[in-house]
């Protein structure tokens, strides 16, 4: 990914009211891609859901938490990197609820997995915090 560039970076309080701005930034970053509008909407939803999961499960709605969103783009793909400073998450514990369990909520992990081509869960080297990298390729070539 030699021509990859940072197209957007924002640090924001881990609060639900911030997600409208996040959705706008993600949608704007998806301009000039060859993805159909439905796929763009799915990517926006996936990033929104990832942020909401950080707010609800990582910070447990602690109002002092922060999230950093970085968006990197090249001619082949776009990468969304979310960094938080919540306690490290056990990757094995991240899973969506059973889809047979029909009720509101709990589908964020499913949306993310269905919308993105690659997902990486990492920990900050300092031991406090998590990094979620989600990649969406622009074509199947």
More confident residue, 102 or 39: 39
Considering only residues 9 and 102, tell me which one the structure prediction assigns the higher pLDDT: 9
Q: pTM of the prediction?
A: 0.87
| Counted domains in the chain | 1
pLDDT of residue 124: 87
| CATH for 13 | 3.30.565.10
pLDDT in tens, 115-141: 999 999 998 887 789 999 999 999 754
Q: Regarding beta strands 77-84 and 130-137, do their DSSP bridges make them parallel or antiparallel, or are they unpaired?
A: antiparallel
d(CA 138, CA 141): 9
Range of the domain at 67: 5-137
Report pLDDT digits (tens) over 61-105.
Answer: 888 899 999 999 999 999 999 999 998 876 656 565 555 554 445
Asked if 105 and 96 count as a contact pair (C-beta separation under 8 A), the reply is no
74 Cβ contact list (under 8 Å, min separation 6): 1, 2, 3, 4, 5
HEC per residue, 15-64: CHHHHHHHHHHHHHHCCCCCCCHHHHHHHHHHHHHHHHHHHHHHCCCCCC
User: What are 64's two structure tokens?
Assistant: 């002092």
């Amino acid at each position: 990914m030699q021509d990859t560039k940072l197209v957007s970076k924002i640090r924001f309080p881990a609060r639900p009211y911030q997600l409208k701005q996040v959705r706008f930034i993600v949608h704007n970053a998806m301009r000039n891609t060859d993805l159909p509008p439905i796929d763009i909407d799915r990517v926006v939803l996936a990033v929104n859901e990832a942020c909401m999961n950080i707010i609800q499960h990582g910070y447990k709605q602690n109002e002092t938490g922060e999230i950093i969103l970085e968006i990197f783009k090249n001619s082949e793909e776009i990468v969304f990197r979310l960094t938080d400073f919540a306690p490290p998450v056990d990757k094995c514990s991240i899973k969506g609820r059973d889809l047979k369990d029909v009720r509101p909520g709990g589908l964020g992990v499913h949306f993310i997995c269905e919308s993105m081509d690659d997902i990486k869960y990492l920990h900050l080297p300092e031991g406090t915090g998590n990094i979620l990298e989600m990649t969406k390729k622009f074509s199947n070539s």
